[in-house]
Structure 1
């Protein structure tokens, strides 16, 4: 089997194990699920550091994971279709292209003085209202769509899809709150993925939870540093 076939068709047999009192049965895992989530984690690290390369790396992971979450079509190894999880990979592609373009443009203009592509900022009351409305409307609409498509868990799947789109859009805009949205997605995603047999993705969601807390604090500190540096010239001018 050549490397491409191994990536697309390879599987790994994982013995049963337990974590924090949760027993996980033995499972056959797709190599591309593990690799796709690896690209997702690398993209998240790049996002925390505000690097443009986070977007193309994430796109590769999206393409791999799309084929994973329609397991019922390929009939291996998971037979449960999570159409919301698959659909969000498609939306990720579109939003990631936008984010890639936006961060690339910001980097060229030298918006961030510390080497990052963008300067983190708060969404503000207007942005919060927009996110809240889109979260409710998106979850309701996607619930009915995913239920009609036969998704195994349409309600949590709908929120994961909606929240993921909003978080990715917020990241593209440089909104600090996008980390909090990801945490809310992880809280719902971990039980859903464990119960439907997508163990690598479930474990990665657990890792994401802690990582998102660290990312949120990092972006908050970066915002405070930018505000402090912006205020220093004003103080010097006042003294002069």
Structure 2
């Protein structure tokens, strides 16, 4: 599998993203293409506009598909990772502040939404983060609906730890450095540790993971990165072992 030729789909149906999503119905259990598009758009997939068309042209100019193909081959071999389809689409530039890329991962497929990313290492960091999720989900063999808040924060922390190991600290996501250690510890004691068993399907899960409502922004992600870093300062593990360590070990 590997890189799917979404470039062809975009050239033929750029202004009809729901038509593009028809191609992916099988991997979403035959769901309606409008639902698939709405779901992917929520994670950063482009909306048709002059600006997003420019982004698409820039992706072609920068040979983004070829670059991601290289990253896929490299990390699939390095991590003995699963063979999954990888879909690339332009990023929704007005979607999230100053971000210029995002992604969403499943055990059986991977989506990358790319803005005007000219630094190849930045693109590699995005790929590492999302493909790391795929590898861990593949190894844990746990139904998505059974994932807890602890599973989620550890998964995010591990993915960014892999970015740090392979691309360097400069390429870590901005949320990795949002809070001081003392702030993380206080939040852990007051809010997080009582809710670690909250399931992915419950509202509280995303509130604490992303920092919605009264919670600090991206606090769950940041805490995951802190826990994983603390763990690996004490224990040396190979990259492949990161995919099978139980979430509870990081506590």
Q: Same fold (TM over 0.5)?
A: no
Give the structure with the larger helix fraction.
1
| Larger-Rg structure | 1
How would you bin the TM-score normalised by the shorter chain?
A: under 0.3
Per the normalisation by structure 1, the TM-score is: 0.28
